[in-house]
């Protein structure tokens, strides 16, 4: 039989565990710093490389806001994320780089969007029916963005279409 720690020792371990892992949890201040850095950044690739961390922080805010029943704030934060994704994709496309050959930036953006879709699916279960449509609309737009990014990163190599051979007389 395994001996367990007295309840007072278990209670002491909780704050210790929190202090150990707290540096790995993005804070609201850290998210605000990332958002400011994102807004200042002019290089589209550097901007895209900020998206996974920025998106993670923003989705923690969205989850907290939704769990508290503040759906309007959660939707506003989600719309901000969506706008950041759209602006980054547009800036990356404006560089004229081929994502299949020079994927830096596109990869990070796709990873961020894929993670956002997963987290939105998790949030969707807790939303009241009257709140789902607005979240679903943004989810669908992000899904389209993710599909576009995947097609650009991994284009299918289709051989050129050949016309059927003409019959010989």
Write out pLDDT tens, residues 79-126.
999 999 999 999 999 999 999 999 999 999 999 999 999 999 999 988
pLDDT in tens, 46-64: 999 999 999 999 999 999 9
Check residue 23 and give its pLDDT: 45
Q: For the residues of 87-140, what is the DSSP string, one character each? A: HHHHHHHHTT--TTT--TTHHHHHHHHHHHHHHHHHHHTTS-HHHHHHHHHHHH
At residue 11 the predicted structure's pLDDT band, cuts being 50, 70 and 90, is very low
pLDDT of amino acid 20 = 45
| pLDDT for the residue 156 | 79
CA atoms within 13 A on the CB side of 161: 1
Q: Which run of H or E residues covers position 163?
A: none
Is the sign of the CA dihedral 39, 43, 46, 52 positive or negative? positive
Q: Show me where the domains of the chain are located.
A: 44-153
Residue with tokens 């805010």: 61
Q: How far apart are CA 86 and CA 142, in angstroms?
A: 9
The pLDDT of residue 167: 52
Rounded to whole angstroms, how far apart are CA atoms 108 and 106?
A: 6
Residues 75 and 134 sit within 8 Å (Cβ to Cβ):
yes
Q: pLDDT digit string (tens) for 12-35? A: 444 444 444 444 445 678 999 999
Q: What is the pLDDT of residue 28?
A: 73
Span 67-75, mean pLDDT?
96
User: Measured in Å, how far apart are the chain's first and last C-alpha atoms?
Assistant: 91
Q: What is the DSSP letter of 154?
A: S
| Contact (Cβ atoms closer than 8 angstroms) between residue 1 and residue 13 | no
């Amino acid at each position: 039989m395994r001996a367990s720690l007295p309840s007072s020792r278990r209670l002491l371990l909780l704050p210790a565990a929190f202090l150990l892992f707290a540096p790995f949890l993005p804070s609201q201040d850290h998210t605000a710093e990332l958002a400011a850095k994102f807004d200042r950044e002019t290089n589209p690739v550097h901007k895209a490389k900020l998206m996974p961390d920025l998106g993670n922080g923003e989705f923690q805010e969205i989850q907290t806001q939704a769990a508290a029943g503040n759906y309007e704030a959660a939707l506003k934060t989600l719309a901000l994320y969506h706008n950041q994704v759209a602006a980054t994709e547009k800036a990356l496309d404006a560089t004229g780089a081929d994502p299949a050959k020079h994927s830096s930036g596109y990869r990070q953006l796709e990873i961020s969007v894929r993670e956002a879709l997963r987290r939105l699916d998790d949030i969707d279960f807790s939303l009241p029916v009257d709140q789902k449509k607005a979240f679903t609309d943004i989810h669908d737009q992000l899904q389209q963005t993710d599909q576009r990014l995947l097609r650009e990163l991994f284009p299918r190599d289709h051989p050129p279409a050949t016309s059927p051979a003409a019959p010989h007389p």
